[in-house]
Amino acid sequence: MAGKLDPYRRKRHFDATPEPEGTRRRRAPADAQPAERGRHPLRYVIQEHHARRLHYDFRLELDGTLKSWAVPKGPSFDPSVKRLAVHVEDHPLEYASFEGEIPAGHYGAGSVIVWDEGTWTPEGGLAKAREGYRAGKLKFRLDGEKLHGGWALVRSGRQEGRQEQWLLIKERDDDARSAEAYDVVAQQPGSVHDGATRGRAANGHAANGHARARRRGEKAAGKDADAEVDADTDAPRARATKAKRPPALSRVEGAARAPLPERVAPQLATLVDAPPAHGDWRYELKFDGYRMLARIAGKGARRRVTLMTREGRDWTPKLRALRDALAALDVDEAWLDGEAVVLGENGLPDFQLLQNALGSGQSDAITLFVFDLPYLNGYDLRDAPLTARRAQLEPLFDAADPARLRFSPDLGSDAAGLIANACDTGLEGLIGKRADARYRAGRSPAWIKLKCRRRQEFVIGGYTEPTGSRHGFGALLLGVHEPAPNGKRTRGASPLRYVGRVGTGFDTRMLDKLAPLLRERERASSPFDPPPQGWSRTRVHWVEPTLVAECEFAEWTGDGIVRQAAFVALREDKPASQIVREVARHPTTENTMDERTTSSARRGRAAADTHDGGQDRAQERPPAARGKSAPDQVGQVRITHPERVLDRESGTRKIDLAHYWERVAPWALPDLAGRPVSLVRAPQDIGGELFFQKHAERREIPFVTQHPGLDPGHGPLLSIDSVDALIGAAQMGTIELHTWNAHASNIERPDRIVFDLDPDPALPWRTMIEAAQLVRGLLDELGLVSFCKTSGGKGLHVVVPITRHSGWDEMKDFSRAVAQHIAGALPDRFTATMGPRHRRGKIFIDYLRNGRGASTIAAYSVRARPGMGVSVPIDWDEVPATTGGAQWTIDTVHKRLDALERDPWEAYADTRQRITAAMRTRLAAR
């Protein structure tokens, strides 16, 4: 007996907690007959426990102790609802009557009431119960104040650390009732002893708020009646009998026939300080995990599943269990959007457990909660309303493995009650989405996030020496990049501002992991601008600002320093260059919210109806940057706000960009004319929010040619065929022009291949020069003539003109083979795998720009980066003398053009070559 209760006693200090220590055994009544001894009624109890997270402790008396399970959502009389029940340590028999407060700082701190009690009768007798308990399948009848009838506890076979996960299931009998008809937890609150709801009062949250959220979830069509802040703890229920069959995809508003995209850029949520007051909003849990997009293609043995992070990194090798579960879904082709998490002992996401699972290769511990469906079975659903997409999504999981894949349910629309419950339960917060929102890549006000605590990512710029018994390091020095106006993310380099330090929250495992990562990134000077001064008593080590730490903190001080920061996790899915101070916005009203705005980092699908903010949002610009001048005329285009500064580093104004295009048009138009083009637009300046536009919008760009029907399911593609079209694009805030690898006249037959050489920023430029020459050499060996241009950013582009004989898939496969061959031959210099980790010390040969719909910065296009570099065609003989990818800028490129005696690409138009079987054979044989 003592041994069974040892784990219980080790976790508690009985001189400080009112919980019973457990010193007596249960005895049969004195007048019981010998044959009846040991056969007294077995006690059962459910205690409502308001610890850090609300849960219900289900306990059965067996062999002298209370066998115990933590049930995060409590029991349900609906046999189709399978409640998660996490097996915990045995409790003493005296615990069955315990009610009271466990003091703060002690194990299980919080309020406990006896929610139900009675007796239980094992099916088949006591011996059968012992056997069933060991085997993981225990059937019994309950005779309690609230629960009656047949029940089962079934071990699911999956473990989180040392704690087994079981399922509590109601048997189908006369006591069973549907969740819609009866919710016992909501409808019978309080203690069976005195009716008190002390757990809720102690934590400052009313019982009716909890029940209200539950009832709102009940009303959502076909959703779990308990789909509130603990919704993720449920195994999927048989929804097919309650949810309407979704309409055929061909009948879904906004759905368009289209091939499966190679990539989908995720929609992101905007942080707000309060729920919107108006509009039709739906709320889901904000999961504490890694955002994942899953691409499913092919059938049978040819099926391929790819799992990608929000930054486009392929994490499929890390998530093999999810890959296999996704491959088993009954779909032909799909893109799914969700969050990968690991559920802790209370059935709620635990980010540390997720990192541990990824670090140890235990992908079978990871669950993917899926909340959106951008594409399904031949239909692009990104222009369909959110409600329509989710109606198609939910039935996909009826037969899915709940340990791997789950649908993220709607919690209802009572944002105030839901966020209160979420915070009380210890969750990170909520995600709100407009019911009619289209799926738009990048950050959008149509998706919002409400956080329970101040928590965000910071760039690590240094660390201090450890003191005392601490090893590894003392504290981390934190920074954020200088935000653009209104807190929007910037593109390109921006100053890293010191915002404080964090010295708590690290366990031994994280100290051991992080210390060597910091040491290998050490540098001589501070990365902060300006560097912190005179605050540290221990030696400071500066590091390259490439690592990202997620921290919780109490508040921002008036001078921009975080107080009482605690380390949460090392984030490997977010680039340091994008980390800025998160500023909660007040939610916009229903009339002003435009959910089609995309983000600065967008390289995915374009918004369908993005407004030009040059005039409409002028009031949002800082006064010093707001143009007030009268319009100018350039060519046939009227330039409004001509004095607006687009780039503060170079001082380039809107009128300067219009004149630039007017001047370089004879050089730029050969690469642009007739070729579909995508636009990067800056309604304010390049330090503010940028928009990526691929299709025609309501507000037409002057003189730009439209090509309807070339991109099925979307608006017309665009091409820029004249100098006035170039100037018109500048008038509408366009900075960058990106061209397809095909002409509009023959869109399915590409006429060039592009290899974008993307280097690790730490590499010297001479390495880039050598890389370009090596790529050219291989292409020469294959018999292909190539041309070179600077990217205007970090690298060089190698361009191969081809005749229009190959399709998109054939061309992309060939470019992949070239890239993989080079990377295989020179693995120390090149990689063909995307992502900073693979690119460290190497150059990534980006062949992905050769797919249908992909694009590359056009020749002579300006870049939306500080200094406004220009992508400039150069002769191969000039490559060794180049100094960088942005060697020429909007201010200097005219000097180069004036000095040229001939066009470096004069032979481009006359080059006739095609991909041949012999070339493929040579690549395969190498």
> Does residue 799 contact residue 909 with C-beta atoms inside 8 Å?
no
Angle between helices 917-925 and 765-782 in degrees, nearest 10: 120
Distances (CA, A) of 113 to 46, 117, 199: 9, 11, 7
Sign (positive or negative) of CA dihedral 485, 488, 494, 499: positive
Residue 286: active-site member: yes
Phi, psi (rounded to 5 degrees) for 85? -135, 110
Contacts of 162 (CB under 8 A, 6+ apart): none
Whole-number Å distance between alpha carbons of 658 and 651: 14
For residues 439 and 459, the answer to whether their CB atoms sit within 8 Å is no
Phi, psi angle pair for 609, to nearest 5°? -140, 50
Closest by Cα among 222, 405, 266 to 322: 405
Spatial CA neighbour of 49 closest among 134, 115, 121: 115
Q: Which of 67, 82, 286, 433 is catalytic?
A: 286
Contact indicator for 403, 366 with CB cutoff of 8 Å: no
The Cα–Cα gap between 809 and 853 comes to: 12
* CA nearest to 792, candidates 700, 846, 859, 852: 859
**Residue 412 contacts residue 283 (beta carbons within 8 Å):** yes
Asked if residue 186 lies in contact with residue 75, where contact means CB atoms within 8 angstroms, the answer is: no
Does the N-terminal peptide bond of residue 275 adopt cis geometry, omega within 30 degrees of 0? no
List residues bridging with 370 in a β-sheet.
338, 407
Q: Coil, strand or helix: which one is 165?
A: strand
The H or E element that residue 920 is part of is helix 917-925
Tally helices (H) and strands (E) across the chain.
18, 46
Helix, strand or coil, per DSSP, at residue 186: helix
CB 776 within 8 Å of CB 912: no
- The amino acid present at 867, given as its one-letter code, is G
Helix boundaries (H) for 633-703: 654-672
Q: How far apart are CA 451 and CA 443, in angstroms?
A: 16
Count CB neighbours of 181 within 10 A. 9
Query: Which 3 state secondary structure label does DSSP give 894?
Result: helix
Q: Give the span between the Cα atoms of 736 and 754, in whole angstroms.
A: 18
Residues 806, 850: contact at Cβ < 8 Å?
no
User: Of 571, 460, 456, which is closest to residue 526 (Cα–Cα)?
Assistant: 460
For β-strands 367-376 and 405-407, DSSP reports them as parallel
Smallest CA-to-CA distance from 867 within 843, 844, 893 is with 893
868: its two tokens:
């406004």
Block residue for tokens 């020749």: 859
Distance CA 806, CA 847 (A): 16
Report, as residue numbers or ranges, the catalytic residues.
286
